[in-house]
Amino acid sequence: MRIHQLAIQAFGPFAGTEHIDFDELGAAGLFLLDGPTGAGKSSILDAICYAIYGALPGNRQGSRQIRSDHAAEGLAPEVACELSVGARRFEVTRSPAWMRPSKRAKSGFTEEKAKSALREYVDGEWQALSTRNDEVGQTLGAVLGLDREQFTKVVMLPQGGFADFLRAKDTEREKLLARLFDTSDYAKIEEEFAARLQQERKRTETIEAELAALENQVRSDATGALQAAGIELPGADEPDLDFDGLQEHLETLRQQRAETAKARRADQATASRRHQQLQERQRIFGRLAELRQLETAHAANAEAATAAEERLHLDAKATQIRAYQRQQRDAQQNVSAARQQLESRAANFTERFPEREIQYTQQTLQSLATEANELGEQLGSIRSALPAEEQREQLARELLRQQELTGKEQEKSERAEAMIATLAKEREELQAKDLDEVTAAAGVQQAEQALEKATEQVAAVKRREELRDAKNKAQALYDGEASRLRDRQCSLLEAQQTLLNQSAARLAAGLVEGEPCLVCGATEHPGPAVAEAGEELVDEDAVEHLREQVEAQREKTRQVEAKLHAATTRYEEAAAVAGQTTRDEAQQQVAQHQEALKEAQNVRASVAKLVAQLAKVQHESEKQAQAAAAAKLAHGVAVEKTEALGRELNQLDARLSELRGGYGSLGEKLAELSADHSVFSALHQALSKSLDATAHLEDCSRRWEEERTAVGFTDDAAQAQALLEPGVRQELEQLRATHQKRAAATETLSASEDVIQARQLEAEGETAPDTGQLERDAAALQEAEETYEQARQTEVVAAASLQRLQEGRDRLARRISDTGPVIESYRRLKALAEVVRGGGENRLKMTLGTYVLAARLEEVTAAATERLQVMSSQRYSLEHDDTARGNAKSGLGIRVHDSWTGKYRETQTLSGGETFMASLSLALGLADVISHHSGAVDMQTLFVDEGFGSLDTETLEQVMEALESLRSGGRVIGVVSHVSEMKQRITNRLTVTKAREGSTISTNAERSLLTLS
């Protein structure tokens, strides 16, 4: 992505419209973004981010303070950015929500909604893509392949934040990486593992508890059954008691109980057969006695049953026709009630219409119906006209209201005219005063610029003094290191000279009698050289060690000398800027300019107050003129409505007078007609009901006479005499039924096998068994049954205990087989979940999400090392460190490899300049990795934040070479810095100047304006 043009209007600190042509500014590939603190350098980057994503970056997201407080009252805030992504070129324009002045709103302002527009340059012309706020951001974000937070990290490289990242602990570094690289999917995997583990743990614990309970239950049931049978088992309470042994004991017990039950069953069968024989003889003799009792009772009730049958037959015929008699009596009652109601309604009719004579005939019924219908039609007409009376009252009230409104609008118009005259006089007085705002504002601006220059002079004097002290300290440090270098050089020379002087003594010390000399070859050594008394021999290693110390001191002195040179250069630059002005003189000038600024501001405030008052008077005059015009218009409308209402009211009164027909109101006429209609309708209904009831009575009387004669009753008295009372009828029916049942029972018993067998036994001299014999036999049978039942129950208990043991063992075996895979799966899942969450066999204590971030960090350090080696002359490289740290989480460490020593260093041991180089390398590496993994396009426009002031001259050269390498491929790099040497190195500059009226932007390159649409 490359940014071509940016236009800012009423945005942040920029009061007016500012244009930036990045194509011309970055023609050389590198430009400087310069300006004092708070001027608005970061607001330029905010404007780029807002144009693309519709939101400010970082912690400023969601802020509503986007529109400049310095902007003119009606100037809309707007940002326009022209950029290219690959071969596509876009122009995005956004305007945030702001409060626009409004004459109609009560508060004087109305909210203007946020607006967006996205266009693409296609085939030589701009084509609109979208005007929706959210859609514009989504389209550009998809094309770039970055979200807002990633974009701000890739395009803007803040050095200070990455220095903290470089020195942070693993846990703090993990939080930043998690915001840049989405690991939510891996976090969900960890949560899913934890949830599944919790679920499987509960399931496994339930299964294990169930198996233990099942095993205990099977063992307890078996031992309990054996103990209840009196069998004592050694170690019966032990958990590892042999199930096979229990089953063998239970099988033996079951066989013993089965043999006992079999013997008791034979005794019970013998007693049962003997008792059944006695019961059978008693039963058949009982049936013979029952037959003889039934025969006696049946003969005694034969005559009474015959008489009851005859009376019940007559009652049935009389009851058959009672329904026709009830219909005839009900019809008589209906005729009487209808005639009584008719007489009452006729009396009411005669009372209202005394001149009318009433005849109870069909002709009278038809006449009443006709007259009732006519009255109903008249009632309908009157009811439909009732709303007209209500309308008349509403018209009268509306006419009165319009008359009052006419007077009020006339008064409003007169008051507005008087106020207009007063305001015109006040406006003339204000216009006569001095209202030159431009001159007053120019005076304030001149005073502010003078004060700013004086303030800058104070800062320059202060910096000159501080840099002078720093230069003196650097000089003292250099003098000390140079002195130490001279001392070590002298020690080296002395050691070299001593080494030379002791050459003969060292050779002599190595001579052995009988062996040849290394110099002359003689085997005899009559006068070998010796060292002076007390003098130690110096060897080559000692000299080499001193030489290394000299080289190390020389390097250290060279570094201190470079710092002295840099401090001297900075002091000379500051002295050139500050000149010969003292601090007191500079502060006195600041005080003078502050007083002048205060006076200019008072003048501007006075002028602004008068201008605001004049605007208020003009606004009020326009308001009163509008009120007067509105009052006149309303007065004319009210007069017209009053006349129209008067005419409509007269027409409605004429129509109502005709409808009333002499009554005071339609309501009175409606009430009179309703009463007449009610009397006619009531009499018509009563007469119709009376005539219908008389006809029905005649029909019912005829049918009753026919039905009674048909069943054999000559008159009503004969039918009434044949009817029986309910109680009598029930007694006769019971008597008949009893006689019939006895006859049937006698016949059945006489033919039964039991009675025939009893008569045969009686003929043979047999009798029924007595009570004592039966009781003795029953007692013997009961004793045999109880004995057998006890034996059978003990057999069943033993068999059931054996079966429960077998079923329990089978059930336990099946359950163990079924649940084995579940328990084994839980153990595997537990081990895997421990590893995923950083426990168990996870040596580095890394969670899954941390593992992914570690891989990203490894890529970042590799990409950062490419830049850091260039900046540090191949000395330093960054490496990902996953060394275990006890029980703490690890895997996100960073360490520095020093190629000079071949050892690793902690990041906290780096100097200020080294930390800057490492932080800048990290920022650039992170930008590359984010772009790679998000599928983003190559960023052709980058901004590098402040931090260059901590570098010495040599390191600054190396960093500049690294920045120069970023320009490869046509990149444009914007450097944000206050370092004066950077201003000298980078010729293309974008300068932000702050003032009370708002900040402005200027460049030293020719600008190509981007028009705001």
Q: How confident is the model at residue 531, as a pLDDT?
A: 59
Evaluate if residue 10 carries a pLDDT over 80.
Answer: yes
Give the best-scoring range by mean pLDDT among 20-29, 92-101, 840-849, 887-896: 92-101
**HEC profile of 528-577:** CCCCCCCCCCCCHHHHHHHHHHHHHHHHHHHHHHHHHHHHHHHHHHHHHH
Evaluate if residue 829 carries a pLDDT over 70.
Answer: no
- How crowded is the C-beta side of 391, counted as CA atoms within 13 Å? 14
**HEC profile of 149-199:** HHHHHHHEECHHHHHHHHHCCHHHHHHHHHHHCCCHHHHHHHHHHHHHHHH
What band does 337 get if pLDDT is binned at 50, 70 and 90? confident
Closest by CA position to 827, among listed 817, 816, 818, 840: 840
Distances (CA, A) of 622 to 328, 392, 484, 608, 625: 99, 42, 89, 21, 5
What band does 60 get if pLDDT is binned at 50, 70 and 90? low
Evaluate if residue 330 carries a pLDDT over 80.
Answer: yes
What band does 1012 get if pLDDT is binned at 50, 70 and 90? very low
Mean pLDDT of 410-431: 78
User: Residue 843 has which token pair?
Assistant: 């040596």
User: The pTM is what?
Assistant: 0.39
Q: How confident is the model at residue 168, as a pLDDT?
A: 64
Mean pLDDT of 224-237: 64
Backbone dihedral angles phi then psi of residue 113, each to the nearest 5 degrees: -70, 155
Q: Name which of 255-259, 453-457, 543-547 the model is least confident about.
A: 255-259
Evaluate if residue 182 carries a pLDDT over 70.
Answer: no
Q: How confident is the model at residue 950, as a pLDDT?
A: 60
Q: How confident is the model at residue 6, as a pLDDT?
A: 94
Q: How confident is the model at residue 95, as a pLDDT?
A: 92
Mean pLDDT of 829-843: 60
Q: How confident is the model at residue 14, as a pLDDT?
A: 92
Q: How confident is the model at residue 962, as a pLDDT?
A: 66
C-alpha 335/C-alpha 363 separation (Å) is 20
| b/e map 824-839, b = 16+ CB within 10 Å | eebeebbeebebbbbe
Look up residue 881 and give its amino acid.
D
| b/e map 14-35, b = 16+ CB within 10 Å | bbbbbbbbbebbbeebbbbbbb
**DSSP designation for 885:** B
Mean pLDDT of 321-335: 83
Q: Name which of 47-51, 245-249, 780-784, 963-967 the model is least confident about.
A: 963-967
Residue 579 falls in which region: left (phi positive, over 0), alpha (psi -120 to 50) or beta: left
Q: How confident is the model at residue 373, as a pLDDT?
A: 85
Q: How confident is the model at residue 323, as a pLDDT?
A: 83
C-alpha 549/C-alpha 673 separation (Å) is 137
C-alpha 380/C-alpha 883 separation (Å) is 104
Q: How confident is the model at residue 118, as a pLDDT?
A: 93
| b/e map 466-486, b = 16+ CB within 10 Å | ebbebbeebeebbeebeeebe
Q: Name which of 132-146, 308-322, 650-664, 715-729 the model is least confident about.
A: 650-664
Higher pLDDT, 236 or 613: 613
Give the best-scoring range by mean pLDDT among 69-83, 198-212, 486-500, 639-653: 69-83
Q: What is the pLDDT of residues 388-410, one digit of tens each?
A: 777 777 877 777 887 787 888 78
Closest by CA position to 697, among listed 331, 307, 169: 331
User: Residue 520 has which token pair?
Assistant: 């002359």
- Please, are residues 261 and 792 in contact by the beta-carbon 8 Å criterion? yes
Q: How confident is the model at residue 520, as a pLDDT?
A: 65
Evaluate if residue 267 carries a pLDDT over 90.
Answer: no
C-alpha 202/C-alpha 584 separation (Å) is 81
Give the best-scoring range by mean pLDDT among 103-107, 259-263, 530-534, 920-924: 259-263
**DSSP designation for 64:** S
| Enclosing H/E stretch for 875 | none
Q: What is the pLDDT of residues 970-996, one digit of tens each?
A: 678 888 876 666 777 787 888 888 888
Evaluate if residue 799 carries a pLDDT over 70.
Answer: yes
User: Residue 264 has which token pair?
Assistant: 């008791």
Evaluate if residue 709 carries a pLDDT over 60.
Answer: yes
Evaluate if residue 836 carries a pLDDT over 70.
Answer: no
Closest by CA position to 1012, among listed 18, 12, 1, 175: 18
Residue written as tokens 């009559």? 526
User: Residue 612 has which token pair?
Assistant: 């605001």
Give the best-scoring range by mean pLDDT among 486-490, 622-626, 999-1003: 999-1003
User: What's CA 796's distance to the chain center, in Å?
Assistant: 65
Higher pLDDT, 591 or 420: 591
Mean of pLDDT over the chain: 77
C-alpha 586/C-alpha 597 separation (Å) is 17
Closest by CA position to 173, among listed 938, 892, 873: 892
Evaluate if residue 588 carries a pLDDT over 80.
Answer: yes
Q: What is the pLDDT of residues 78-117, one digit of tens each?
A: 999 999 887 889 999 999 988 888 877 777 788 888 899 9
Evaluate if residue 325 carries a pLDDT over 60.
Answer: yes
Beta bridge partners of 11: 14, 67
Q: How confident is the model at residue 834, as a pLDDT?
A: 65
Q: Name which of 327-331, 368-372, 655-659 the model is least confident about.
A: 655-659
User: Residue 155 has which token pair?
Assistant: 């395009």
| Enclosing H/E stretch for 242 | none
Give the contacts of 661 (CB within 8 A, at least 6 positions apart): 669
| Enclosing H/E stretch for 237 | none
Q: How confident is the model at residue 931, as a pLDDT?
A: 66
Evaluate if residue 1008 carries a pLDDT over 50.
Answer: no
Mean pLDDT of 742-759: 82
| Enclosing H/E stretch for 117 | strand 115-122
Q: How confident is the model at residue 1010, as a pLDDT?
A: 37
Q: Name which of 285-289, 666-670, 685-689, 896-900 the model is least confident about.
A: 666-670
What band does 1007 get if pLDDT is binned at 50, 70 and 90? very low
Residue 227 falls in which region: left (phi positive, over 0), alpha (psi -120 to 50) or beta: alpha
User: Residue 121 has which token pair?
Assistant: 């340059």
Q: Name which of 183-187, 243-247, 607-611 the model is least confident about.
A: 183-187
Q: How confident is the model at residue 346, as a pLDDT?
A: 82
Cβ-based burial of 333 (10 A; exposed 0-12, middle 13-18, buried ≥19): exposed
C-alpha 511/C-alpha 521 separation (Å) is 11
What band does 159 get if pLDDT is binned at 50, 70 and 90? very low
Distances (CA, A) of 836 to 381, 540, 759: 91, 59, 101
- How crowded is the C-beta side of 964, counted as CA atoms within 13 Å? 10
Q: Name which of 300-304, 506-510, 919-923 the model is least confident about.
A: 506-510
Q: How confident is the model at residue 965, as a pLDDT?
A: 67
Closest by CA position to 108, among listed 518, 696, 612, 481: 612
- Please, are residues 999 and 40 in contact by the beta-carbon 8 Å criterion? yes
**HEC profile of 749-812:** HHCCHHHHHHHHHHHCCCCCCCHHHHHHHHHHHHHHHHHHHHHHHHHHHHHHHHHHHHHHHHHH
**DSSP designation for 714:** S
Q: What angle do CA 302, 308, 313 make, to 5 degrees?
A: 130
Give the three-state DSSP class for 299.
Answer: helix
Beta bridge partners of 991: 34, 1002
Higher pLDDT, 836 or 438: 438
Q: How confident is the model at residue 239, as a pLDDT?
A: 47
